[in-house]
Amino acid sequence: MSNLSFLSKKGAAASKSPMRIDLEIYYEAMENLYHPETNPSGALPMNVAENHLCWEMLRDRIQKVTRENTIPEWVASYTDPAGAPSFREATAEFLSKFLMHVPVNPDSLAFSGGATSTIEMTSFLLANPGDTAVIPAPSYPVYSGDIGTLPEVKRFDLQVPSKPINSEYQFDLQLLQEAKEKIEANGSNFRMLILTQPDNPTGRIYSESLLRKIADWCIQNQIHLIVNEIYGLSQLDIQNPNLKAFYPQASPFVSFGKIMSEYQSPFLHFWYSFSKDFGISGFRIGLLHSHNEDLIQAYRNAGLGHSISNYTQWVIQEVLLDHGFLKTFFESFQQKLTESYLIVTQTLKKLNIPFNPSRGSLFVWMDLSEFLEEKSLKGEEKLWLEIYEKTGILITPTNGFGHSEKGWYRIVITSLSHEELKVAMKRLSDFIQIKRKG
Ligand SMILES: Cc1ncc(COP(=O)(O)O)c(C=O)c1O
């Protein structure tokens, strides 16, 4: 008898569903990392959305906290499952000053272990099993598991026009109306709309006017709109002289938090996490912001199992209170991010590889369709593996982004230092040139 028979139905299904299909190969690459002297032909993993650009700076600041302070009493005991009051206050001030530019009430925040857990909790509290969440495609593959595995919410990949390629989303509300009719005809409920800005993988943002139109439509239709701004401060400096010309009519980035503070609607919500902008995915801090008091209370009542360690909350709260440090940190990060983006996109331009111009995130979304032997998932997988085997560069496999166009790949630009990124781009150029020679 298989051991699976001792698991629940969900347990048995989970035991057969890896979180992502590239994990095994990622661990293999991590065992064989590139080093200029000791392993010059080693692997260059660029598949997982890690930001290593400013870790040293943040590590020093965190170590200052732990070196110079005594751990406060409250850290050793239970606290509010939605987040310790002092941590919620420090985060509210941080969000207000650096991202939303409106006052943020600490009571509108609820925390859990990373955005992953926040997405799962929010979906479970807002939607019933069998309801549907609509997500513009392409989008973050792991949304499917976060909304699906425990909350049992279905994912509907909204196919937004991909041409002309653009750094801002442009779609008609009619698209949402059509999705609603299709979902209802299939016997489900369009319960949530999930937007990500800057987007994973395209780096697109939403103009303020489009965000407002979408918010109005959702409120009218009693659909929960959640904007995930996990990459909210991973913004490119589009005033950089090497970038400016590519963004002739750029809308300013406007956080959805600003619109929410004006609308005060129970249907509008916001996600954030410290994993990407701060580059501390291992600390596991995610948050929900909402003016729906019942939702925050439900999160608090049901969230103990997802709560964050008080030690983590305390250490990060002390860093968040140092606004002078945060200002320097984000200036330095955005400058380094822009440099990483330029290293990758200038290579792609030289190679004539199309890519989506980005406003932020940790990615470049590029079109390698000319190298597909077959315009199918199988063809995409073959090329993905070939790139890894021949160059040691591990990019993200295409499976699960939910879009219909074949041959687009996501490359993470912040998992490597600038020197390593240049080595990766040299290897990619050689690969592409050899491929084109046939
Ligand atoms: C859009 C999006 N949401 C959520 C997550 C998960 O973040 P966390 O590490 O905070 O759980 C990611 C990570 O890549 C992401 O890209």
Does residue 286 have its Cβ closer than 6 Å to ligand 1?
A: yes
Looking at residue 179, its pLDDT comes to 98
Does residue 234 have its Cβ closer than 6 Å to ligand 1?
A: no
What confidence category does residue 2 fall into, taking pLDDT thresholds of 50, 70 and 90? low
Read off the pLDDT of residues 53-63 as tens digits, 9 standing for 90 and up: 999 999 999 99
Q: Give, for 69, the enclosing helix (H) or strand (E).
A: none
Mutation test residue for ligand 1: of 117, 140, 146, the one with most atoms within 8 Å of CB = 140
Asked if 229 contacts 255 with a C-beta cutoff of 8 angstroms, the reply is yes
**What's the gap in Å between 194 CA and the centre of ligand 1?**
13
d(CA 96, CA 328) in angstroms, rounded, equals 17
CA-closest candidate to residue 224, choices 278, 159, 153: 153
Mutation test residue for ligand 1: of 194, 256, 273, the one with most atoms within 8 Å of CB = 273
Q: Is 206 exposed, middle or buried (0-12, 13-18, 19+ CB in 10 A)?
A: buried
Does the pLDDT of residue 1 top 60, yes or no?
A: no
Does residue 114 have its Cβ closer than 6 Å to ligand 1?
A: yes
Which atom of ligand 1 is found nearest the CA of 113?
A: 11
Coil/strand/helix, residue 254: coil
**What's the gap in Å between 363 CA and the centre of ligand 1?**
13
Mutation test residue for ligand 1: of 276, 283, 288, 396, the one with most atoms within 8 Å of CB = 276
User: Mean pLDDT throughout 200-222?
Assistant: 98
Amino acid at 178: E
User: Mean pLDDT throughout 171-176?
Assistant: 95
Which atom of ligand 1 is found nearest the CA of 273?
A: 10
d(CA 384, CA 127) in angstroms, rounded, equals 36
Lowest-pLDDT range, 19-23, 294-298, 353-357?
19-23
What confidence category does residue 178 fall into, taking pLDDT thresholds of 50, 70 and 90? very high
Name the residue with the closest Cα to ligand 1, atom 3: 115
3-state helix/strand/coil string of 328-357 = HHHHHHHHHHHHHHHHHHHHHHHCCCCECC
Query: What percentage of the chain has pLDDT greater than the value 90?
Result: 92
**CATH architecture under which domain 73-322 falls:** 3-Layer(aba) Sandwich (3.40)
Does the pLDDT of residue 5 top 80, yes or no?
A: no
Does the pLDDT of residue 394 top 80, yes or no?
A: yes
Q: Which residue has the tokens 């315009």?
A: 375
d(CA 252, CA 260) in angstroms, rounded, equals 17
| Average pLDDT over the chain, rounded to an integer | 96
Phi, psi of 393, deg, nearest 5: -85, 120
**What's the gap in Å between 39 CA and the centre of ligand 1?**
31
Angular region, 264: left φ>0, alpha ψ -120 to 50, beta rest: left
d(CA 233, CA 99) in angstroms, rounded, equals 7
Which atom of ligand 1 is found nearest the CA of 274?
A: 10
User: Mean pLDDT throughout 213-217?
Assistant: 98
Q: Mind giving me the DSSP string for 387-419? A: HHHHH-EE-B--TTS--S-SSEEEEESSSS-HH
Query: Two tokens at 40?
Result: 């010059």
Does residue 116 have its Cβ closer than 6 Å to ligand 1?
A: yes
Looking at residue 17, its pLDDT comes to 84
Asked if 240 contacts 342 with a C-beta cutoff of 8 angstroms, the reply is yes
Does residue 53 have its Cβ closer than 6 Å to ligand 1?
A: no
Give yes or no on whether 3-56+326-437 and 73-322 have one common fold: no
Give the domain ranges of the chain: 3-56+326-437, 73-322
**What's the gap in Å between 230 CA and the centre of ligand 1?**
7
Does residue 281 have its Cβ closer than 6 Å to ligand 1?
A: yes
CB hemisphere CA count around 36 (13 angstroms): 8
Read off the pLDDT of residues 253-267 as tens digits, 9 standing for 90 and up: 999 999 999 999 999
Query: Two tokens at 38?
Result: 């000791």
Which atom of ligand 1 is found nearest the CA of 117?
A: 11
Does the pLDDT of residue 76 top 60, yes or no?
A: yes
Does residue 196 have its Cβ closer than 6 Å to ligand 1?
A: yes
CATH 3.90.1150.10 fits 3-56+326-437, yes or no: yes
**What's the gap in Å between 64 CA and the centre of ligand 1?**
28
CA-closest candidate to residue 196, choices 223, 145, 230, 150: 230
Name the residue with the closest Cα to ligand 1, atom 7: 115
**What's the gap in Å between 41 CA and the centre of ligand 1?**
30
Looking at residue 249, its pLDDT comes to 87
Q: First and final CA of the chain: distance in angstroms?
A: 51
Q: Mind giving me the DSSP string for 134-147? A: EEEES--TTHHHHH
Query: What percentage of the chain has pLDDT greater than the value 70?
Result: 99
**What's the gap in Å between 352 CA and the centre of ligand 1?**
30
Q: Give, for 433, the enclosing helix (H) or strand (E).
A: helix 418-437
Which atom of ligand 1 is found nearest the CA of 49?
A: 14
**What's the gap in Å between 49 CA and the centre of ligand 1?**
8
Does residue 409 have its Cβ closer than 6 Å to ligand 1?
A: no
Name the residue with the closest Cα to ligand 1, atom 15: 140
d(CA 156, CA 103) in angstroms, rounded, equals 34
Read off the pLDDT of residues 26-43 as tens digits, 9 standing for 90 and up: 999 999 999 999 999 999
Does residue 141 have its Cβ closer than 6 Å to ligand 1?
A: no
What is the rounded (10 degree) CA torsion for 385, 390, 395, 401?
-30
User: Mean pLDDT throughout 335-354?
Assistant: 98
Asked if 176 contacts 193 with a C-beta cutoff of 8 angstroms, the reply is yes
Looking at residue 288, its pLDDT comes to 98
